[in-house]
Structure formats: C-alpha cells, structure tokens
Amino acid sequence: MAYLSGLLGRAVRDHRGQTLGRLNDLLILPEEKSEYPRVVALALQNGNKEANLLAWRGTEDLAGNIIVLQTQPQTYHENGHEIYLARDVMDKQVIDVEDHRMVRVNDLELGRIGSDYRLINVDIGGRGLLRRLGMEDLAERVVERFHRQIPNNSVSWSDLSFLPEKGVRVKVPRQNLNELHPADIAEILEDVGPRIAGNLIQDLGDEKIADTLMELETEFQAAVLDSFSEERAADIVEEMEPDEAADLLNELEPEKRQAVLNLMDQEEREDVQELLAHEEDTAGGLMTTNYVWVPPGLTVGEALERLRSDPEAKEAETIYYVYILASDEKLLGVCSLSDMVLADPALPIEKIMHADPIYVELHTPRNKVLEEISKYNLLAIPVVNEDNQLQGIVTADDALEMILPQEWKVKLPRLFR
C-alpha cells in the first residue's frame, strides 16, 4: 500500500538512473470494468517547467523512496477523462452518508493489484491529516502512552463516484440516494449548496425530489429548481403540496414561474394559481387545497368507505379532520378521523360532527390564524370565503413556521400526513 501524501515530491528516475523530476501528481482513469481506477500516468515537475506527463507502464514500484522507471519513458496524452488525484481530489469534499455531512479528503490510499497501482481508499480521518504533516508516528507514540489508538477513518473508492461541476470536484456516494429519507438527502444538499444539489438529485424520481425540496428553505428550493429544465421543474412542482408549490414558485423569476406553470397539468396548475392569487401573509396564502371531505346524509361507515376509495384522500396533507360539505361546498361541520373510527358505523355522520366548526376567512391575517389554531388546540383550521364555502385548510405545522426561527423551519416534522 502507498499513500499519495507520501509519494508527492519523490524523485523519479528513468531506467538509466537519470533524474527526470519530482512527482507532482498521479492520474487515474475511471473504468467501467473495475471499481478501483488504475494509475495511468505520472505528472512530473522539473523546475519551473510545465508538468510532464509520463505513461504508467506497470513495471514501476511506488514503495521505495525513489520511483524508478524500469522501461523507456513514454509521454502520456490525455483524453479528457483523467482525474488528477492531488489537484482534483485531495482536500475536496466527501459526503458522509451515515452522518449526512460533508468531510474533507485528507489522503488517498493506493494498492498494487497485478502490475497496476489502483486507488483503493479515501482517508477522511485525522490520521490522514497527521500523515500529511509528517506527525503520524509521533502522534501514535503519544496516544499509546494513554492506551489509545488513532482511529482509521477511510471510505472505499468503490462506494464513491466522481462529480465534476463547473470546476468543482465533489465526491458523491454511489449508494442510491433514493434509499435515504428526504430529510437526510436535504441535509446533504444543504452542505453542498444549490449549485451542486441539482446534479446530485437529478436521477431521483420527481416525487422523491419534491419531498426532498419540501425539507429545504424556499429560497434554497428555488435555486435548486433552476438547475432543472422547465419541463422537469414542472413535473417536480406537480408532486409538491399546493401550498409548498406556491411558495416555491413565488421565489422564481416571473418568466420562469410562468413557464413552469404553463407546463403543469391543468388540475395542479389551477390549485397553485388559486393560492398564488392570495397575499402571502393571509390565510389564503398559507392554506393548502388538499383536504378530505364527505357529503352529508352518509352513515359513519359509508363515509369511511368513501374515504378509502377516494384517490384524492391519499393526496391530502392531513386526514386527521374530515370536513362535511354541502353540494355547493358550504362548510356544514367537521369530524376527527379518530371519532369516526371509534363511532358506530351505522350512526349518521351528522350525529358525530361538530356543526359549528372554528374557521378563518381568506383574508384573515396570519397572526390571527395562528391565534385561532393555538387557542382551540387545532391540527388544522378550515378557510372559507364570504359565502362560507370551504377553500382550503391551514395546517398547524404551516402555521408554526410563522413564529419559528428560520433555521428551525425546515426541521419541523410533517406530523399530519
């Protein structure tokens, strides 16, 4: 095994013993057939001249203090896919999937497989940093006095893939991001920033991307969405809750916002446009149009069966409350789902509903909305127009966001789905 930090600066001699320069970098070439890319060239520095690239012939040994080429040196010609280990990888960032954070590449471990040297591991721990500073042996002797050991903290290169983005080199786990919870993906995206985030999640499904974006601040969401085409952006926004989609679209430039809206399916577009028409700091601007309702005249059992077979119920932001609406959508009452489940299925729904529900109007200021939710200990509050027709609901989590510090807002759990 050899570490890049220990190889850099070593003298390189040809097969006749003549010094060609000092090792400035190693080049690898990712291969589809192998998870561990092989070294294909050595970059040598000789004085102030531009680095000279020599092809790796497979007969050299990197283990000694001096690297000696066993055959006639040959110039290496790049094809554009090479990765310079010192320039492109060292000191760059690695995503730690377990802790959902970014950590730095402190060293790179190479191993000999057959006649090739290949990149095996990425050292992201303190040992790698100590090694580069030439203090690894000293540090080991010190910690041994306390009967401790310096931990090895490495990630296999096979668990990572290379992502170049506008000159920025980032290590991205090859593990399918789709297996992570959206909140965990969101933490990773916050570390890499919106410019890189779009590249990381572009291969996820639209629904997964939408769920992830809803864990982020609205400004960050908009920056990430800008990295997608208008068609893809429309597909993603369609998967978001209408109120979240409206907030996101409000952050976009007017031209982009209209282009995304034009590409959305009619039903989702109309839901979002309805919310965009209201002032942001009113009940109309806070509400979602995803709620569940049943008509009067049903038994409790019939109402529950209707909910089970209603595809819109599966899309509702909360089904803790079920609203009873007349044929003209006027709000007649509300039931909690728990009351319905525990009630006699043969009872008329009117027998268990609250016939005088607490509600707010479209123009109700946001502070008043929060006051009503807090006063009556509600998980959601209905929003009606001047004719008492239900327009939407404001959920408690959306209301709480108004008083939480900005850094807490995206941490608020979605308790009411």
pLDDT digits (tens, 9 = 90+) for 344-399: 999 999 999 999 999 999 999 989 999 999 899 999 999 999 999 999 999 988 77
- Beta bridge mates, 132: none
Q: Would you list the DSSP string of 145-198?
A: HTT--PPP-EEEGGGEEEEEETTEEEEEE-S-GGGS-HHHHHHHHHHH-HHHHH
Q: How far apart are CA 42 and CA 78, in angstroms?
A: 12
Give the model's pLDDT for residue 327: 95
Residue spans of the domains in the chain: they are: 2-86, 87-173, 177-277, 293-409
Mean pLDDT on 234-238: 96
Give residue for tokens 């970098």.
Answer: 25
- Output the pLDDT for position 407: 47
- How much is the pLDDT for 1? 75
Residue linked to tokens 């908009």: 222
Give the pLDDT confidence score for residue 224 in this predicted structure: 94
Q: Is it the case that residue 11 has pLDDT exceeding 60?
A: yes
Where residue 143 falls among pLDDT bands split at 50, 70, 90? confident
Higher pLDDT, 72 or 321: 321
Burial class (CB in 10 A: 0-12, 13-18, 19+), 174: middle
Which of helix, strand or coil describes residue 409?
helix
Dihedral sign, Cα of residue 57, residue 59, residue 62, residue 68: negative
Q: How confident is the model at residue 221 (pLDDT cuts 50, 70, 90)?
A: very high
User: Does 131 or 355 have the greater pLDDT score?
Assistant: 355
pLDDT at 60: 67
Please state the rounded mean pLDDT for residues 305-309. 93
Which CATH class name applies to 293-409? alpha beta
Banded pLDDT at 280 (limits 50, 70, 90): confident
pLDDT at 409 over 70: no
What CA–CA distances, in Å, run from 193 to 98, 190, 220?
19, 5, 8
Is it the case that residue 252 has pLDDT exceeding 90?
yes
Q: Looking at residue 122, what is its pLDDT?
A: 86
- 105 neighbors 124 (Cβ within 8 angstroms): yes
- pLDDT score of 176: 59
Q: Which residue has the higher pLDDT, 396 or 306?
A: 306
Region of poorest pLDDT, from 3-17, 142-156, 282-296: 142-156
Residue 134 Cα distances to 138, 205, 235, 366, angstroms: 8, 46, 53, 60
- Of residues 238 and 62, which shows the higher confidence score? 238
Q: Which of 348, 356, 360 is nearest to 278 (CA)?
A: 360
Name the residue with higher pLDDT: 166 or 120. 120
Range name among 109-123, 162-176, 181-195, 266-280 with the lowest pLDDT average: 162-176
Tokens linked to 264 = 């959305």
Q: Phi/psi of residue 255, each to 5°?
A: -65, -45
Q: If you average pLDDT over residues 201-208, what whole number do you get?
A: 90
Query: What does pLDDT average to over the chain?
Result: 84
If you classify domain 177-277 with CATH, what class do you get?
Answer: mainly alpha
Residues 6+ apart with CB under 8 A from 155: 94, 121, 122, 124
pLDDT digits (tens, 9 = 90+) for 152-181: 778 787 776 555 543 344 455 545 577 788
Domain 2-86 belongs to what topology? Answer: SH3 type barrels. (2.30.30)
Main-chain dihedrals φ then ψ at residue 308, nearest 5 degrees: -65, -35
Residue 231 has pLDDT above 90, yes or no: yes
Give the pLDDT score at 173. 53
Task: Please check the confidence at residue 404 and state whether its pLDDT lies above 60.
Answer: no
Burial 291-329 (b: 16+ CB within 10 A, else e): bbbbeeebbbebbbebbeeeeebeebbbbbbbbbbeeee
Maximum mean pLDDT: which of 43-52, 77-86, 245-254, 343-352: 343-352
- How much is the pLDDT for 174? 45
Percent of the chain beyond pLDDT 90?
42
Strand, helix or coil at 284?
A: helix
Contact between 406 and 347 under an 8 Å Cβ cutoff? The reply is: no
At 96 the pLDDT is 61
Instruction: Report H helices in 277-365.
Output: 283-286, 300-309, 311-315, 337-342
Percent of the chain clearing pLDDT 70 (strictly above): 87
> Coil, helix or strand for 396?
helix
Question: Does pLDDT of 284 surpass 80?
Answer: yes
| pLDDT exceeds cutoff 60 at 230 | yes
Cα-Cα-Cα-Cα dihedral of 278, 281, 283, 287, to 10°?
Answer: 80
Concatenate the DSSP letters of all residues of 209-244 into one string: HHHHHTTS-HHHHHHHHTTS-HHHHHHHHHTS-HHH
pLDDT of 410 > 50? The answer is no
Tell me the helices (H) and strands (E) count for the chain, helix number first. Answer: 18, 20
The predicted model gives 43-70 an average pLDDT of: 79
Distance spanning both ends of the chain, measured CA to CA: 52
> Minimal CA–CA distance to 381: which of 368, 297, 401, 417?
368
Query: Alpha carbon 300 to chain centroid distance?
Result: 42
408 SS3 class: helix
Nearest CA to 292 out of 275, 309, 312 is that of 312
pLDDT value for 167: 39
Q: How many CB atoms lie within 10 A of CB 234?
A: 21
